[in-house]
Chain A
Amino acid sequence: MATVLKNRAIAAPKEPGEWNGLLAGIYTLWLKHMRKFRSSPVEVLFTLATPVLWILFFGICMTGMVVPTQTGLGYQAFITPGVMLLTGLTASILGGTTLLLERVNGTLKEYLVAPIPRLAVLLGSMTSGLTKAVLQAIAVLVAGAVLDSTLQFRILPFLAALTIVGVYSLGFVGLASAFASQAKSMESYHSLIMVMNLPVLFISNALYPLEKMPVTIRGLAMLNPTTYGVDACRILLYGSKPEIGLGIDLVVLAAFMVLGIYIGYRSFSSVMQKIGA
């Protein structure tokens, strides 16, 4: 453990100009990933389509079946925060895919012999993943506001909710980077992600309120960062009655973000040691 942290290759910059290298590296990787994202309209379309489909079909159809909950929201509004976070999750996973692909196709080596710290490679990937997450969350918010009158276009709540999505996504970007650093192949990465993806959505208050869950599942849901993200977004966007409370939400989400990034960093740096093996 300690050796990983002492690894010279990824330690804080010591040589002159390395801080510049760090910033330049992060920015360049971000720019590259964004260029690729932009030049593949299919990726953009699919990632945007999923959440909109959720709101359109699942939201509208379920509305007839669901009695209003103590949050005081219509069902479509009720699931919008969850769908927004789900979008963030998807984008984080895509961020991990980018890193994995670059590792598998050898592009990573180009970065590693460039005068940028290795940390920049990880942070660059994370930053681009985060950007995609936030862009998509904006799309969901817009779709939500268009489809449902309870959501008003208001700058401050929007920004606050987007920040929540960002913090939540960064945690998952970290975890995805950890998987991506270690995964042997694209297939193993995706099977892992699939296993993670659905429980993160279902074992949370994204689609149903905590009070309606059996106690055990509610306990599990309380371990899921999605629950806190959804609660915070509902409060910030709709001013709904809190299930947990904004303060706790923020603390838990921040802790999750730090943990996720740390795990990603650890995993990435241990792989850096083995490269070329």
Chain B
Amino acid sequence: MPLFLESRLIVLATIFKQNREGKLAQGQDAGVYAIETSGLTKSFGKVKAVVGLDLKVEEGALYALLGPNGAGKTTTINLLTTLIGPDKGMAKVAGYDVVKQPGMVRRSIGVTFQEVSLDRNLTGRSLLDIHGRLYQLPQKEIKKRIEQLVELVELQEVLDRPVKTYSGGMKRRLELARGLLTEPSILFLDEPTVGLDPHNRENIWAYLQELRSRGNLTIMLTTHYLDEAEKLADKVGIIDEGKLVVEGSPASLIASLGTDIIKLTGSGDLARFKEALRQQEWIAAFRVASERIKQDGSSIEGASAPVSAPRGVESPETAGKSEETALSEAVEATTTASDMAVEPGGITEILINLTSEAGRSVKPLVDLAEHNGFEVADVSLQRPTLNEVFFKYTGRRLRD
């Protein structure tokens, strides 16, 4: 029977494979980007799924493709993982062309698909073992890696049970382990947390962060959860109707929306500090959010009237509109109220709108506070979310 012959040849195949792996690692160093596409295009009949996509993902980065359903995220993943071929354009993954060297691409990547794609009747262990064999890993290595990965995704106890008995979260975790079994240099995750409860989502996030801390793994994931992209990604690409709409770090995208807000918590001479704040050009506005938080931590809701462009206050002539006048009045009211309410030692929260990026303004702000007798206990940033970024660039809200 040829089958027996084949199993012999597998052994040979595995040995050759190992030799090649050394070369493969060298080949990867040559590529500057882990993933690089230019003009990538794919249509299904009349439907244009991906239109002239240009992407660059640096080695070791976590890149999140963000977009609504049907935006072309999955098609992009399918193209990059060699599942389908492009109509036009070029894509390189781990330095290999997806059309000319699909085999090398496949050796370099791990993939989890959007829909759970596990064989229900196999045990978790058997499923991982089969996967390792598909990549021609030696048996010993497969066994060792299964032990390690199962520990990472916490499936030790169910490993020898059939997959059909697993919960949704366990299946996702098993898929993640399967994607990692071959120690890929690039991991593609298509909606890795879709349909999971918050606890399981956070587990997956934690595994991904743990993985990244271990080595130079590049991850590309798609998601329509904004908080996921914001929490995990170094770089976010917003994709809509097959095109890249905007790209950048979550922070820079958010910053592009406008000013940051710094929240200062502290105590001291509030009136003098407020006066000083009004003098600063780099402060667009500020308001006292809550004040006089007692020592036991419970806060008395202070007046939190929205407030005060300092210039607006100082030059009433520009504040022609009635609402701005109202604002100024509110400022005065707040000022009076808080001045009276705050006893020495009370704690106040002040929200400050900046004209420049928050990162550069924190120190001057803290210095300003301390020079004016206001002791800062805590500083925090409040930023607009990616939700708003998405809306700004696509004109649409994300829907599930």
A positions within 8 Å CB-CB of B: 8-9, 15-18, 20-21, 23-28, 30-32, 35-36, 39-40, 102, 105-107, 109-116, 127, 131, 275-277
Residue of chain B at shortest CB distance from A40:
B121
Residue of chain A at shortest CB distance from B23:
A16
Q: When the two chains form their complex, are residues B3 and A110 in contact, meaning their CB atoms are under 8 A apart?
A: no
Q: When the two chains form their complex, are residues B9 and A114 in contact, meaning their CB atoms are under 8 A apart?
A: no
A residues within 8 A CB of B103? 15, 17-18, 21, 115
B residues within 8 A CB of A15? 101-104
A residues within 8 A CB of B131? 110, 114
Q: When the two chains form their complex, are residues B17 and A20 in contact, meaning their CB atoms are under 8 A apart?
A: yes
Taking a contact as CB atoms closer than 8 A, the residue among B13, B83, B102, B134 that contacts A109 in the complex is B83
CB distance from A274 to the nearest CB of B (A): 9
Q: When the two chains form their complex, are residues B111 and A113 in contact, meaning their CB atoms are under 8 A apart?
A: yes
B residues within 8 A CB of A17? 13, 16-17, 20, 103
Given the contacts A24-B13, A24-B133, A25-B134, A107 and B117 also touching, CB distance less than 8 Å:
yes
B136 at interface (Cβ–Cβ under 8 A)? yes
Q: When the two chains form their complex, are residues B84 and A275 in contact, meaning their CB atoms are under 8 A apart?
A: yes
CB distance from B25 to the nearest CB of A (A): 15
Residue of chain B at shortest CB distance from A114:
B134
A residues within 8 A CB of B292? none
Q: Give Cα A107–Cα B120 distance, bound, in whole angstroms.
A: 10
Q: Give Cα A112–Cα B131 distance, bound, in whole angstroms.
A: 12
Taking a contact as CB atoms closer than 8 A, the residue among A16, A18, A24, A277 that contacts B10 in the complex is A24
Jot down 7 A-B pairs with beta carbons below 8 A, ordered by A: A17-B20, A23-B13, A27-B7, A27-B10, A31-B130, A32-B126, A116-B134
B387 at interface (Cβ–Cβ under 8 A)? no
A residues within 8 A CB of B107? 115
Q: Give Cα A232–Cα B126 distance, bound, in whole angstroms.
A: 41
Taking a contact as CB atoms closer than 8 A, the residue among A21, A106, A275 that contacts B116 in the complex is A106
Q: Give Cα A21–Cα B7 distance, bound, in whole angstroms.
A: 12
Given contacts A109-B113, A115-B107, 6 further A-B contacts (CB under 8 A): A17-B13, A21-B13, A105-B120, A107-B117, A107-B118, A112-B83
Q: Give Cα A33–Cα B83 distance, bound, in whole angstroms.
A: 22
CB distance from B103 to the nearest CB of A (A): 4
Report the interface size class on chain B. 35 or more
Q: When the two chains form their complex, are residues B20 and A111 in contact, meaning their CB atoms are under 8 A apart?
A: no
Q: Give Cα A149–Cα B10 distance, bound, in whole angstroms.
A: 43
CB distance from A132 to the nearest CB of B (A): 13
Q: When the two chains form their complex, are residues A39 and B121 in contact, meaning their CB atoms are under 8 A apart?
A: yes
Taking a contact as CB atoms closer than 8 A, the residue among A35, A40, A113 that contacts B106 in the complex is A113
Given the contacts A20-B9, A26-B6, A105-B117, A32 and B83 also touching, CB distance less than 8 Å:
no
B81 at interface (Cβ–Cβ under 8 A)? yes
B residues within 8 A CB of A20? 9, 12-13, 16-17, 136
CB distance from B193 to the nearest CB of A (A): 18
Taking a contact as CB atoms closer than 8 A, the residue among A8, A36, A40, A111 that contacts B134 in the complex is A111
Given the contacts A23-B10, A35-B122, A115-B136, A276 and B78 also touching, CB distance less than 8 Å:
yes
CB distance from B246 to the nearest CB of A (A): 26
Taking a contact as CB atoms closer than 8 A, the residue among A23, A32, A40, A115 that contacts B130 in the complex is A32
Q: Give Cα A111–Cα B106 distance, bound, in whole angstroms.
A: 10
B positions within 8 Å CB-CB of A: 3, 6-7, 9-10, 12-14, 16-17, 20, 44-45, 75, 78, 81-85, 99, 101-104, 106-107, 109, 111, 113, 115-122, 126, 130-131, 133-136, 178
Q: Which 5 A-B pairs rank lowest in CB-CB distance, beginning with the nearest?
A: A106-B117, A20-B13, A276-B84, A114-B134, A15-B103
B residues within 8 A CB of A36? 119, 121-122
Residue of chain A at shortest CB distance from B19:
A17
A residues within 8 A CB of B135? 114-115
CB distance from B292 to the nearest CB of A (A): 59
Q: When the two chains form their complex, are residues B134 and A35 in contact, meaning their CB atoms are under 8 A apart?
A: no
Q: Give Cα A9–Cα B84 distance, bound, in whole angstroms.
A: 9
Q: Give Cα A18–Cα B136 distance, bound, in whole angstroms.
A: 11
Q: Give Cα A40–Cα B122 distance, bound, in whole angstroms.
A: 10
Q: Give Cα A74–Cα B45 distance, bound, in whole angstroms.
A: 60
Q: When the two chains form their complex, are residues B83 and A275 in contact, meaning their CB atoms are under 8 A apart?
A: yes
A residues within 8 A CB of B104? 15
Taking a contact as CB atoms closer than 8 A, the residue among A24, A107, A276 that contacts B75 in the complex is A276
Q: Give Cα A18–Cα B103 distance, bound, in whole angstroms.
A: 8
A residues within 8 A CB of B136? 20-21, 24, 115
CB distance from B72 to the nearest CB of A (A): 12
Q: When the two chains form their complex, are residues A113 and B82 in contact, meaning their CB atoms are under 8 A apart?
A: yes
Q: When the two chains form their complex, are residues B3 and A30 in contact, meaning their CB atoms are under 8 A apart?
A: yes
Q: Give Cα A127–Cα B14 distance, bound, in whole angstroms.
A: 21
Q: When the two chains form their complex, are residues B83 and A27 in contact, meaning their CB atoms are under 8 A apart?
A: no
Q: Give Cα A178–Cα B260 distance, bound, in whole angstroms.
A: 60
Given the contacts A36-B121, A116-B134, A276-B75, A106 and B115 also touching, CB distance less than 8 Å:
yes
Q: Give Cα A140–Cα B227 distance, bound, in whole angstroms.
A: 61
Residue of chain B at shortest CB distance from A130:
B3
- Which of B6, B84, B136 is packed against the most chain A CB atoms within 10 Å? B136
Taking a contact as CB atoms closer than 8 A, the residue among B6, B78, B109 that contacts A23 in the complex is B6
B residues within 8 A CB of A131? 3
CB distance from B268 to the nearest CB of A (A): 61
Residue of chain B at shortest CB distance from A25:
B134
CB distance from A145 to the nearest CB of B (A): 22
Q: Give Cα A92–Cα B217 distance, bound, in whole angstroms.
A: 43
Q: Give Cα A22–Cα B119 distance, bound, in whole angstroms.
A: 21
Q: Give Cα A277–Cα B134 distance, bound, in whole angstroms.
A: 25
A residues within 8 A CB of B17? 17, 20
Residue of chain A at shortest CB distance from B188:
A113
CB distance from A128 to the nearest CB of B (A): 10
Residue of chain B at shortest CB distance from A22:
B13
B residues within 8 A CB of A16? 20
